[in-house]
Copies of this chain bind each other. A is one copy, B any other.
Amino acid sequence: MSDGAPPIPGLHAALMRHTGFLINRIGAVARKRFTERLETLGLNLRMWGVLNVLDAEGPITQHVLGKSVGIDPSSMVSTIDELEANGLVERRRHPTDRRAHALHLTEQGRETLSSGRRIAREAQDELLAPLDASERKQLHEMLCRIARAADDARVAGDELAETTAARAV
């Protein structure tokens, strides 16, 4: 650091070589930045994900919601607790299943979501600043494929585990 030119940059070439490292690192930065911005709305990442899916899917249960956002059931409890305390979501009675809740987005929830979307757009523009429009599209498409494949593998792994467990019984 005392040398004139920095002998070692913040990101070392030996690590930049690995695509996995880059994704991991960028993901961490993106998460951190976006989390900071969401705080201005009283939201965290999980709450933001919940609002999005809830808006798209109408009233659903915590279980299904958790699957869609990638939150396990126990973490879902506190997430919904907070959202409900802030008046963004309501736990209503499920029409047919008395074990389950039907989660409803409130009007305020919808408003907060739309503010969140603006913040998300800003954060994304900032993150993808080095890319032009067509590159962003390419990147997005490739990431979609990777995410799908990774999720398929996860689901397949789950089913395999279940099958194995069943076989063991």
Contact = CB atoms under 8 A, between A and B. Distances in A.
A149 interface: yes
Contacts of A148: 11, 130
Nearest to A8: B68
Given A1-B64, A19-B139, A24 B31 contact: yes
Interface in A13-51: 13-16, 18-31, 34, 45, 49
Given A127-B146, A146-B130, A28 B26 contact: no
Q: How many copies does the complex hold?
A: 2
A133 interface: no
A145 B127 contact: no
A127 B20 contact: yes
A contact patch SS: helix
A145 B136 CA distance: 12
Interface of A: 1, 7-16, 18-31, 34, 45, 49, 52-53, 55-57, 60, 63-64, 67-70, 120, 123-124, 127-131, 135-136, 138-140, 142-151, 154-155
Per CB-CB distance, the 5 closest pairs between chain A and chain B, nearest first, are: A27-B27, A14-B56, A130-B145, A12-B68, A22-B143
Given A10-B70, A130-B146, A131-B145, 8 more contacts: A8-B64, A10-B151, A20-B120, A22-B143, A22-B144, A26-B147, A27-B27, A139-B142
18 contacts: A8-B53, A8-B67, A11-B70, A12-B52, A12-B56, A15-B49, A15-B53, A15-B68, A19-B128, A20-B30, A22-B143, A22-B144, A22-B147, A24-B27, A24-B31, A128-B146, A130-B145, A135-B142
